[in-house]
Chains A and B, each alone.
Chain A
Amino acid sequence: MTRPSWRVESGPPRPSTERALAYAPEDGSFALYNDYADGVAVLIPSLRAVSVTEPFPIWSGASAPPDGPHPLGPRTSVSGYGVFTFPYGPISLGVPESGKFDVTTYGERVLNLAPMGGFKSRRIRRAVVGLPIEDAALQVERIAGNFSAAHVAAFLSAAESAEPHEVPTVELWTRGFAQELQRIYNHFHVLARVAEAASQNVGLAQTHALAEEVLRLEGRIFGHRWLFGALLPHGPPRRLDPAHRKEVSTELVRISGEFERLWTLFLESRTFIDRIQSTCPVSRAEAVHWGAVGPTLRASGVPWDDRLRVPVPPYDDLFVALPHVAGGDALARLTVRMEEVRASLLLLEQMIDRWPTSAAASAPNPPVVEGRGIGRTEAPSGDLVYDVTVRSGRVASLEFRSPSVANWPVFALGMRNAVFTDFHFALESFGFAFAETDG
Chain B
Amino acid sequence: MSDVQRPGADWELQFVIAGCVEKRLPIEIVGSGSKRAIGRPVDGVVTITTASLRGISLYEPNELVMSARAGTPLSQIEAELAARGQMLPFEPIDLGPTTGGPQGSQTIGAVFATNMSGARRVLYGAARDHLLGVRGVNGRAELFQAGGRVMKNVTGYDITRGLTGSWGTLAALTEVTFKVIPWPETSVTIIYLGLPDNLAIELLSAAMMMPVEVSGAVHLPAPVAARLNHPGLKTLNKSITALRLENFASAVAGRKQRLKETLKVYGKALELEHRETLEFWNELRRLSVMPHNRQTLLWRISTKATTAPKLVSAIKRYMPAEAYYDWGGSLIWLEVPSAADAGTAEIRRVTAIHGGHAMLIRAEPAVRAAVEVFQPLSPPLERLTRGLKAAFDPAGILNPGRMYANL
- The finding on whether chains A and B are genuine partners in a shared complex, rather than unrelated, reads no
